[in-house]
Amino acid sequence: MTSGSKNIRASIFITCLVDMLYPNVGEAMVKVLRETGVKLDFPADQTCCGQPAFNSGYQSQARDLAKRFMSIFEGDEYVVAPSGSCTSMVRVFYPELFKDDPVNLRKAQALSSRVYEFSEFLVKVVGKEEVGASYRGAVTYHPSCHLLRELGVGSEPKQLLSKVNGIDLRELPDEKQCCGFGGTFSVKYSDISGAILDTKVKNIKESGAEVLVANDSGCLMHISGALTKQGVPVKAMHLAELLAMKGNDGSHD
């Protein structure tokens, strides 16, 4: 389904974690999307979508940030983010936040229909599963919870991964089990978070993969933190980074 991808324009919603901690993920996403012909821009005023405030119950504050966000991305044809949880904040929870405010509700609903997570954007909007990526090795995929259950994105990442040249895709045992990140949960309830994470790490080891791929930097930060601390020789990578690879030496060209 290669339909007029030359005419697709999208604005990048970079997300705080990628912006401040993993900008290479942003770069990889830009590269992959541009190679499929998508025209990109980056609204420089963007900051946070407000999810941390919302998840902690501070809805008035989240509303402030949401209004700002909506005006920055108003009128954009598509908005694409390298994160399932940030995308679900905008798509699912912005309309919830404004359910008593008809004017902003309309804006939120309009934005809802235009905001996409990176992998679903590639498959559903651009219509591509094969993006010219190449990686020889055993890779396993962890579906982030908001991506899977709030956005319903389950098969798209796997479709994209299966088309990576040379890939040895391994199943992750109990893949749908949460990794235990949950934003501030990971520090407020760190014992529980760590215990849940241990199970995820155990399953990653069992998969026999050398690389763990996910679409959310929160999960990746949390999982890779434990992999490193436990000395497990598995590299955690964002899907965009893997799809930008043209060979195992990490070259992107």
Residues 167-206 that bind another protein (CB under 8 A): 176-178, 180-183, 185-199
Q: What angle do CA 89, 174, 183 make, to 5 degrees?
A: 30
Out of 2, 7, 34, 166, point to the residue binding another protein (CB under 8 A). 34
Decide if residue 114 touches another protein (CB under 8 A).
no
For residues 226 and 245, which CB has a smaller minimum distance to another protein in the complex?
Answer: 226
- Using CB under 8 A, which of 56, 165, 248, 251 touches another protein? 56
Burial class (CB in 10 A: 0-12, 13-18, 19+), 119: buried
Contact status: 244 vs another protein (CB under 8 A) = no
Amino acid occupying residue 247: G
Task: Round to whole Å and give the CA distance between 156 and 194.
Answer: 29
Select the span of 113-121, 145-153, 205-213, 241-249 touching another protein (CB under 8 A): 145-153
Smaller CB distance to another protein: residue 110 or 192? 192
CA atoms within 13 A on the CB side of 89: 25
Is-contact 91 75, C-beta < 8 A? no
Exactly one of 86, 122, 145, 240 binds another protein (CB under 8 A); which one?
A: 145
| DSSP states of 93-155 | IHHHHTTT-HHHHHHHHHHHTTEEEHHHIIIIII--S--S-EEEEEEEE---HIIIIIS---S
- Residues of this chain, 70-99, that bind another protein according to CB under 8 A: 96
Q: Pick between residue 157 and residue 182 the one whose CB is nearest to another protein.
A: 182
Distance CA 160, CA 184 (A): 30
Q: Write down the least CB distance from residue 184 to another protein, Å.
A: 8
Give min distance, CB of 18 to another protein, in A: 6
Among residues 11, 50, 86, 243, which is the contact residue for another protein, using CB under 8 A?
50
Q: Which of residues 209-228 bind another protein (CB under 8 A)?
A: 221-222, 224-226, 228
Q: Does 47 bind another protein (CB under 8 A)?
A: yes
136 — phi, psi (to 5°)?
A: -95, 110
